[in-house]
Amino acid sequence: MKRKWLYSFGIVTLMCSTALSGIYIVCDDDGSNPSVTKDHVISVFEEANKVLRQVAMSLPITADQIQYINHSAWKNLSQTNSNYQQIRRDMGSVPRIGSLRIFFIDSLNGSNRIGLNGITSMLITKNASGATFAHEVCHVGGLRDIYPQRDGISITDAGVVKEEYFPQDWSGGYYPSGLLHTNLITRLLMYGYVGPSTIDIPLGRVHGVYRPMVNGQVQPPTKGMVPVGVQDLNRQPQHRDRD
Ligand SMILES: [Zn+2]
């Protein structure tokens, strides 16, 4: 019998999928001072693939796939700068090799942000971990950030975990006694901030605060069942070529 890469997780059968990536390390205009090394990029991919293995997904990487691109102005970006949108459009025009377009840069908003996914490309700073990269890949696949609270909307009074908060992942109460739902959120890969162990990918949706996406537009924060799990993940993520 021919062996196939099929894994069974309960009722869901997943097939190992891959996404080829156009990977760019941003350098100064004269080609000096690359934001990171090729070895660094490979280690970030390898770390991310350990996380994405939970959903039978893997991003192949070889050193010759990684290219250098010379743009001093792209190395340290700030979303509040007046030229930010133009720079993002320019980055979105770079040839997309494979399905993803990924730029490794120095910094984003000072050091306040370490990863970002847009419609046409992804930014990963030199301080981002493989888990952060995996988080951004899952955004391309359609998952949303989840928070206990954001911009005045809060579920911090949710109390201990219970079935209605994550019905498809409920394990009949096999949780540490008194585990707060807000603490469970901070373990999820799609938790919107960086935490000490944000790597869990659930099967289904989880109760929390999020900003829904409607017709490609991010909406104000609201409470609800947030798409943070494999059932809402498109494991063939793809950036678009233009905004
Ligand atoms: Zn995010």
Ligand 1 centre from 194 Cα, in Å? 9
Q: Across the chain, what does the average pLDDT equal?
A: 90
Ligand 1 centre from 218 Cα, in Å? 12
Ligand 1 centre from 140 Cα, in Å? 10
> For 107-131, what is each residue's pLDDT tens digit?
999 988 999 999 999 999 999 999 9
Token pair in block for residue 63:
């050193």
Residue 42: pLDDT over 90: yes
pLDDT for res 48: 95
Ligand 1 centre from 175 Cα, in Å? 26
28 confidence band (pLDDT: 50, 70, 90): very high
243 confidence band (pLDDT: 50, 70, 90): low
Cβ–Cβ < 8 Å for 138, 100: no
Domain spans of the chain, in order of start: 6-140, 149-227
198 versus 188: the higher-pLDDT residue is 188
Q: What is the CA radius of gyration of the chain?
A: 19
Ligand 1 centre from 142 Cα, in Å? 11
Cβ–Cβ < 8 Å for 129, 148: no
pLDDT, mean of residues 36-65: 93
Name the amino acid, one letter, at 7: Y
Residue 12: pLDDT over 90: no
- What percentage of the chain exceeds 90 in pLDDT? 73
pLDDT, mean of residues 170-178: 83
pLDDT, mean of residues 34-53: 96
pLDDT for res 196: 72
pLDDT for res 17: 57
Name the amino acid, one letter, at 68: Y
6-140 CATH pick, 1.10.1380.10, 3.40.640.10, 3.40.390.10, 3.30.2270.10? 3.40.390.10
Ligand 1 centre from 84 Cα, in Å? 19
Residue 184: pLDDT over 50: yes
Residue 214: pLDDT over 50: yes
Ligand 1 centre from 185 Cα, in Å? 13
pLDDT for res 16: 55
154 versus 11: the higher-pLDDT residue is 154
Q: How far apart are CA 24 and CA 21, in angstroms?
A: 9
pLDDT for res 129: 95
Residue 236: pLDDT over 70: yes
Query: Which string of DSSP letters, residue by residue, matches 112-175?
Result: TB-EEE-SS-EEEETT--HHHHHHHHHHHTT---BBSEETTEE-TT--B--GGGSGGG--TT-S
Q: How far apart are CA 46 and CA 52, in angstroms?
A: 10
pLDDT for res 3: 44
Residue 99: pLDDT over 80: yes
User: Element (H or E) spanning 49, and its range?
Assistant: helix 38-52
Q: How far apart are CA 23 and CA 125, in angstroms?
A: 13
Alpha-carbon distances of 49 from 35, 54, 56, 185, 201, rounded to whole Å? 22, 9, 9, 21, 13
Cβ–Cβ < 8 Å for 61, 97: no
Of 9-18, 51-60, 157-166, highest mean pLDDT = 157-166
